[in-house]
Amino acid sequence: MAAEVNTVGIVLAGGTSSRMGQDKARIRTAQGLTWAEHAMAVLQAHCATVVLNNADGLADHRVGFAGPLAGIEAALLAYPDYSLLILPVDMPLLTPADVQLVVQHAEQNVAHEDSLFPLKVQASAGNLAALQHCLNHPDKRQRSIRAWLRTITPQVVWLPVWAPERMKNFNYLDEWLNEQQRSES
């Protein structure tokens, strides 16, 4: 797989990990990589540049915690002329082949209909404005990635579930420990 020069990989890792009880980015996979290292490696198979959205990397521009939309906003501001290939840090089972299904949709906005990720969006002033509108919306339900994706152009191509066993995100430590035990047996 050739890395796309026009595509920047973004790993969303700026959350508080409160449900997990520890920093998700530092949890280790069975192969010994941290979840952040794993997500970056998955994206590096497709992107010439990969950045981590957290306080030490590509930081949010919003005061306080505004969620993953704030991380995407930071990426759209930092890379206005690129496509963005976005993964959350908490999908440690995803493979480069899974992401390839999204990458092959050139010049389109692409999301997974269940989990939204992997997500590919075209950076544009219009998509940034739509995202900022969502972030500033008084109705909290409108401050979501799914609400934003309904408003961007070109219209999102929604892909069906193709690997549910790998398309999981983990928010609780016991979920992750159970998954590790299941995969070992």
Domains (range + CATH), the chain: 4-180 (3.90.550.10)
- 4-18, 69-83, 115-129, range with the lowest pLDDT: 4-18
Whole-number pLDDT of residue 154 = 85
Mind listing the pLDDT tens digit for each residue in 32-53? Answer: 999 999 999 999 999 989 999 9
Average pLDDT over residues 99-110: 86
Whole-number pLDDT of residue 6 = 87
Query: Checking DSSP bridges between strand 83-88 and strand 4-12, what pairing results, if any?
Result: parallel
pLDDT of 5 > 80? The answer is: no
pLDDT of 2 > 80? The answer is: no
Residues with Cβ within 8 Å of residue 63, at least 6 apart in sequence: none
6: left (phi over 0), alpha (psi -120 to 50) or beta: alpha
Computed on alpha carbons and rounded to an integer, the radius of gyration of the chain in Å comes to 16
Sign of CA dihedral 166, 118, 98, 4: negative
